[in-house]
Amino acid sequence: MSDSGGASIVELTDEGFGAGWADPRLGGANGLLAHDGNILVSTMDSEELLSTREDDRQLTLIAGGMGAADGIAALADGSFLVSEWPGRIFSVTSDGVVETLIDSRESETYINDFILVGDLLLVPNFRPGQLTAYRVIP
């Protein structure tokens, strides 16, 4: 579980809250995704997509410059999708190249998080209170 205000990640166990760790680079930590033995973290404060291994807690920068980064999804080709509040979705390659795929800020169709189910990206829009679906084509 991410603690955006506390710049930390906390483990949840069957007994409740488990071990946690804080790092200034986790400021605004929001999206978390377990992927290939790593934990990917999107940060709203530093606008980054980071990777860490649970066993060493060393943070590695994948990409930056994504605004208030929020949701994360891994694609089969090794790239990622990252959402940003209030309204962008980025494609991020494994070597850190960022491309804006969707920018809905001008229309005030606010994006915060999303979920990828197969090749369908489901995006709840905080405003105007609707759900948008996109087909992800490899």
Q: What is the pLDDT at residue 32?
A: 95
Under DSSP, is residue 25 helix (H, G, I), strand (E, B) or coil? Answer: helix
pLDDT at 53: 86
Residue 54 has pLDDT above 80, yes or no: no
Q: Is 106 exposed, middle or buried (0-12, 13-18, 19+ CB in 10 A)?
A: exposed
Q: What is the pLDDT of residue 81?
A: 98
Q: Looking at residue 55, what is its pLDDT?
A: 78
pLDDT tens-digit map of 62-111: 999 999 999 999 999 999 999 999 999 999 999 999 999 999 999 999 99
Domain that holds residue 33: 2-135
Q: Is the pTM of this model over 0.85?
A: yes
Classify residue 118 by burial, with Cβ atoms within 10 Å: 0-12, 13-18, 19+. exposed
Rounded-to-integer distance, Cα 86 and Cα 65, Å:
14
What distance lies between CA 55 and its chain's CA centroid?
21
Residue type, 11: E
Average pLDDT over residues 45-73: 93
| Residues 6+ away with beta carbon under 8 Å from 13 | none
Domain total of the chain: 1
Say which CATH number the domain at 64 has: 2.120.10.30
Maximum pairwise Cα distance, the chain: 45
